[in-house]
Amino acid sequence: MSETIYCLHCGNLIYSKYSKKFCNSSCAASFNNSNRAPRSKESRLKTSLSMKASLPEKFPYTKITFNKCIICDREFFHKGPKKTCSNTCLNKRMKIIGTNNLRIRRAKGENFSFRRKSHLEMAFEKWLIQNGYVKSINGYLTEVYFRKPDTLYFYRADFVFPRYKLVIEIDGKQHEKSKEQDKLRDDALKSRGWSVERINYKHFNKSNPTFGDKFISIINSSS
């Protein structure tokens, strides 16, 4: 059963099953501060001096400073220090930073793929393992990245067979809308001496015995 309690500050009735002295935080602050002695001038001056001492001599963003862009070397003025002169240079800088981060993660051997493997890719890899193909430099590799020509971006290859210089792409239904991009990607890889074979989702069936023969013919044609 709730106890009848009145607020110590405003006298309003408090409807609560807990023992409370105030109806809200405002009443609690007003009641507690009413009995507090006012601060002296010396105390307020001491607080002000300590706050000023913690601040820098010149606040960094109150003055227009002379800067030089680290991307295009253009000189410009801005309120405070800035490394790039425009959004275009800022985007270039962020791409460089992202590329360097990818290189560091690749050197550590981390998996830096931004998406999970599709069901088709996982099924094809399972078929490779069942048929004696080992995931190694002499067998096959997954999630291999090739740099795009004259850019900071990468192509991601589904399956790479370094021994045969062969790239196999497992195309799902979404690739029907990106045939032009896929052709540009294939041409870029072929210009580097790689053979590219695409296996459509309609033709991939690991339980079909003819699929194994087709895959072996692809390997033989690349060797």
* pLDDT band at residue 208 under the 50/70/90 scheme: low
Rounded percentage of the chain residues whose pLDDT exceeds 70: 76
Tell me whether residue 47 is in a domain.
no
User: Which residues does 69 contact at the CB level (< 8 Å), separation at least 6?
Assistant: 75, 76, 83, 84, 85, 86, 89
Residue 214: inside a domain, yes or no? yes
Average pLDDT for residues 35-63, to the nearest whole number? 70
Rounded to whole angstroms, the Cα distance separating 80 from 40 reads: 38
Q: Which of 82-86, 91-95, 107-111, 148-152 has the lowest mean pLDDT?
A: 107-111
Its domain, for residue 88, covers 64-104
Q: Answer yes or no: do 82 and 13 share one domain.
A: no
**Are 133 and 98 part of one and the same domain?**
no
0.75 surpassed by pTM: no
89 within domain boundaries: yes
Strands 195-200 and 166-171: parallel
Q: List CB contacts of 21: < 8 A, sequence separation 6 or more.
A: 5, 7, 8, 28
Other beta carbons less than 10 A from residue 167's beta carbon: 23
Confidence of residue 131 (pLDDT cuts 50, 70, 90): confident
41 bridge partner residues: none
87 plus 126 within the same structural domain: no
Domain assignment of residue 42, yes or no = no
Q: Rounded to an integer, what distance in angstroms lies between the CA atom of residue 211 and that of residue 170?
A: 13
> Please, which pLDDT band fits residue 61 given cuts at 50, 70 and 90?
very low
**Quick check: 14 pLDDT over 80?**
no
Mean predicted lDDT score pLDDT of the chain:
76
Q: Are residues 118 and 195 in the same domain?
A: yes
Q: Are residues 68 and 24 part of one domain?
A: no
* Residue 114 pLDDT > 60: no
For residues 120 and 156, membership in a common domain is answered with yes
Same domain? For 152 and 197 the reply is: yes
54 in Cβ contact with 45 (< 8 Å): no
Please give the single-letter amino acid code of residue 16: S
- Co-location of 93 and 133 in the same domain: no
Comparing 72-76, 120-124, 219-223, the range with the smallest average pLDDT is 219-223
Domain count, the chain: 3
Whether residue 127 is found in the same domain as residue 178: yes
Q: Are 79 and 64 in contact (CB under 8 A)?
A: yes
User: Do 141 and 168 belong together in one domain?
Assistant: yes
